[in-house]
Structure 1
Amino acid sequence: MTLPGRLRVLPPFHSKRHLPSKLRKLRELDGKAAVQIRGAGTEFDSLRDYVRGDDVRSIDWRATARRTAVVVRTWRPERDRRVVIMLDTSRTAAARIDDEPRLDTGMEAALLLAVLAERGGDRVDFFAFDRRVRGRVDSAAKGNLLGSLVQAMAPLEAELIEMDWAQIPAQVRAISAHRSLVVLLTSLDSGAPEEGLIPLVAQLVRQHVVLLGSVRDPCWAE
């Protein structure tokens, strides 16, 4: 007897092998390995007594006056930041790099980054796009982020059409009105930046921090 059915192929997430080392580094940056980070964009953590070698800019003068002992502030990385990941599904995603479609490599990068950001306490949104949204995961949705991402990525294919970069700012605004880290996983092949990517980045950096991610053919480095 033959029964009709559908087979859903999920992204393999090979890059998960990098998770242990990346998570150890994340814990170090988060202060769990006795590492404190000070600087712009960090959150206040606690007060402690001053020791030789501390940055004098960390001294909390009000607390020092109350305690009659020099006290410094310690800092930790911000939490609950917004991370927006855009995966390019236009024609350039069909190119094969080292015998793997660029789209597959982009999905691996998106999965690894999303899991690390979530473990770091950040809110992660994802969308796949070319001229329209092909897949979306909302940070406000309840449930397992990794499971939601692989389900959203399963039906993705590279579309043989050009990317419409002009729509990206509106897509980002619809996801987050606040300052976010916007990660664009796309192609930086010759011609692509001039076709709209550079003007897009110039527009996004007015409000957001922008990171471009692109896979490169290892043969180019030879």
Structure 2
Amino acid sequence: MIKRFFIQFFLGKRLYAALVAICLTFLVSYWFTALFTLGVILLYTLGFFFLLDTVFLFRQGNGLVANRLLPERFSNSDANQVLISLENKYRFAVKVTLIDEVPAQFQMRDFEIFDQLEAKEKKEVFYTLTPLERGEYIFGDLHVFVLSRIGLVKRRFSFQKGQMVKVYPSFIQMQQFDFLATNIRRFDYGFKKIRRIGHTMEFEQIKNYIPGDDIRSINWKATAKSADLMVNQFQDEKSQPIYSIIDMGRVMQMPFNGLSLLDYAINSCLAFSNVAIKKGDKAGVITFSHRMQKSMQASSRKSHLLGILEMLYGLDTDFLDTDFGLLYNWLKRKVSQRSMLLIFTNFEHQTALQRQLPYLKAIARQHLLVVVMFENTLLESLTEQVPDKISEVYKQTVAEKFMYDKRLMAKELNRHGIQTILTKPSELSINTINKYLELKARGLI
């Protein structure tokens, strides 16, 4: 009991301030002796209120109850809310200071939340955490320091040691892009306009012509019979196998805004697979580096998305060199049906692309290949600065050369019939989904 008392017992700032004031009173009383009596009175008064405050806070065993409410899982690279419920069981108002031992991955050493509770009041407070890595995150103790209105003594309550939450690929981002799969006639998706080119040849129905329909689809026989313009309506072909292939080599280790290119690719893969499945296509995932790692067969079942989520959550890599020849041989043996292959990778210079180009061309002869590469936003910001020194001019020149090489690599891939996405990491998901919708509208898949 005594040990528990001393573990929970802390001194308030107001007590230290009062002691400093009394010490100054005694110091000044060396020259003004009348202040000595005042100092003694203040000291006894402080001691009385100190004991009174201690009794108020410690006479009730469970004066305050707190509970940390965590979601079932966190979404990587998104703001996740942590809710804390508080209940004041004292018969007087208290001030509280919350100190939550957040997981070590966040490196937050100054976490504090200040609030106030009236007598018998219940309240909920929340804060947000934005993880930048997948994996298990362990929360420590939730400490609540309580002060009465006297404010000389603090009592510490501790709750819920060792809570764990798993950080999954960004399912919040996946839900944000859900609407892209709902309406096949949308021209403006809110993020970036899509130019829908042509249509597929899978017939759906004959309907009345309305402004905006393709005049090439007019059915003249049906028009003659009904005396109204009638058009053939086509729908996108479905059940096409689509694979997201994630390069887990060292080129994907580069970080932007605290998140590696690999995690950007994983988040985009989840959002893209969700849209593909809702559009009726089969979505699958393949990962590789110096060896073939995990893979999941393409499927259009709704429950398949949960399997993709679990697979992406467990991805781990040593960021070694990538073997595209190994990927080509694996695809030749395992993926016999013509499919759309979306490869998330990165080439920083021409020689790196030239080494892998023969394998990419061989894959493109059998499948619809889309290569996703990343723009270096740090180089872009460097070129936008106004140089003050000759050395800064040199740096800008080198940065512009690297950016120009990236555009040349994209054109080189296009020249060999390989579709290319050159995008900023932050815009990866929307650009990937837009490319998929464009290719689907053109009837290429």
The normalised TM-score by structure 2 is: 0.42
1:27 aligned residue: 182
- After TM superposition, the structure 1 stretch with the greater mean CA deviation from structure 2, 98-107 or 116-125, is 98-107
Report 1 or 2 for greater relative contact order, CA contacts < 8 Å, sequence distance ≥ 6. 1
Aligned pair 1:193/2:353, yes or no? Answer: yes
Structure of higher CA gyration radius: 2
**1:70-100 Cα distance to aligned partner (Å, 9 max, x none):** 5310122222121111111112223323322
Question: What is the alpha-carbon distance in structure 2 between the residues aligned to residue 169 and residue 137 of structure 1?
Answer: 17
Instruction: Give SS of 1:213's match.
Output: strand
Specify whether residues 216 and 70 from structure 1 end up closer, same or farther in structure 2 by C-alpha distance, changes over 3 A only.
closer
Aligned pair 1:146/2:305, yes or no? Answer: yes
1:17 maps to which of 159, 165, 173 = 173
Unmatched 5+ residue regions in structure 2? 1-134, 137-165, 187-195, 382-445
Aligned pair 1:179/2:338, yes or no? Answer: yes
Instruction: Give SS of 2:286's match.
Output: strand
Shift of 1:175: 4.4
Instruction: Give SS of 1:188's match.
Output: coil
**1:106-142 Cα distance to aligned partner (Å, 9 max, x none):** 2111111111111111101111111322111122496
2:323 aligned residue: 164
Aligned pair 1:78/2:237, yes or no? Answer: yes
* Paired amino acid for 1:165: F
Alignment of 1:1-222 (within 5 A): 9=136, 12-14=168-170, 16-17=172-173, 19-20=175-176, 22-29=177-184, 39-51=198-210, 54-64=213-223, 70-140=229-299, 144-190=303-349, 191-196=351-356, 198-222=357-381
Q: Is the 8 Å Cα contact of residues 16 and 112 (structure 1) preserved in structure 2?
A: no
Specify whether residues 134 and 141 from structure 1 end up closer, same or farther in structure 2 by C-alpha distance, changes over 3 A only.
farther
Could you say which structure has the higher strand fraction?
Answer: 2
Q: Is the 8 Å Cα contact of residues 342 and 371 (structure 2) preserved in structure 1?
A: yes
Instruction: Give SS of 2:234's match.
Output: strand
Specify whether residues 59 and 108 from structure 1 end up closer, same or farther in structure 2 by C-alpha distance, changes over 3 A only.
same
* Paired amino acid for 2:368: V
Question: What is the alpha-carbon distance in structure 2 between the residues aligned to residue 62 and residue 130 of structure 1?
Answer: 57
- After TM superposition, the structure 1 stretch with the greater mean CA deviation from structure 2, 55-64 or 102-111, is 55-64
- After TM superposition, the structure 1 stretch with the greater mean CA deviation from structure 2, 91-100 or 139-148, is 139-148
Shift of 1:186: 1.0
* Paired amino acid for 2:205: S
* Paired amino acid for 1:194: Q
Instruction: Give SS of 1:210's match.
Output: strand
Shift of 1:185: 0.7
* Paired amino acid for 1:111: L
- After TM superposition, the structure 1 stretch with the greater mean CA deviation from structure 2, 186-195 or 141-150, is 141-150
Question: What is the alpha-carbon distance in structure 2 between the residues aligned to residue 205 and residue 125 of structure 1?
Answer: 18
Instruction: Give SS of 1:109's match.
Output: helix
Specify whether residues 119 and 174 from structure 1 end up closer, same or farther in structure 2 by C-alpha distance, changes over 3 A only.
farther
Specify whether residues 78 and 129 from structure 1 end up closer, same or farther in structure 2 by C-alpha distance, changes over 3 A only.
same
Count of aligned pairs? 209
Shift of 1:42: 4.8
Instruction: Give SS of 2:342's match.
Output: strand
- After TM superposition, the structure 1 stretch with the greater mean CA deviation from structure 2, 164-173 or 113-122, is 164-173
Q: Is the 8 Å Cα contact of residues 207 and 230 (structure 2) preserved in structure 1?
A: yes
**1:136-175 Cα distance to aligned partner (Å, 9 max, x none):** 1122496722321232233322334321111223333444
RMSD across aligned C-alpha pairs, in angstroms? 3.0
The normalised TM-score by structure 1 is: 0.77
* Paired amino acid for 2:178: L
Specify whether residues 42 and 221 from structure 1 end up closer, same or farther in structure 2 by C-alpha distance, changes over 3 A only.
farther
* Paired amino acid for 1:72: V
Instruction: Give SS of 2:343's match.
Output: strand
Specify whether residues 144 and 52 from structure 1 end up closer, same or farther in structure 2 by C-alpha distance, changes over 3 A only.
closer
Q: Is the 8 Å Cα contact of residues 165 and 200 (structure 1) preserved in structure 2?
A: yes
Unmatched 5+ residue regions in structure 1? 1-7, 32-36
Question: What is the alpha-carbon distance in structure 1 between the residues aligned to residue 204 and residue 374 of structure 2?
Answer: 37
Shift of 1:195: 2.2
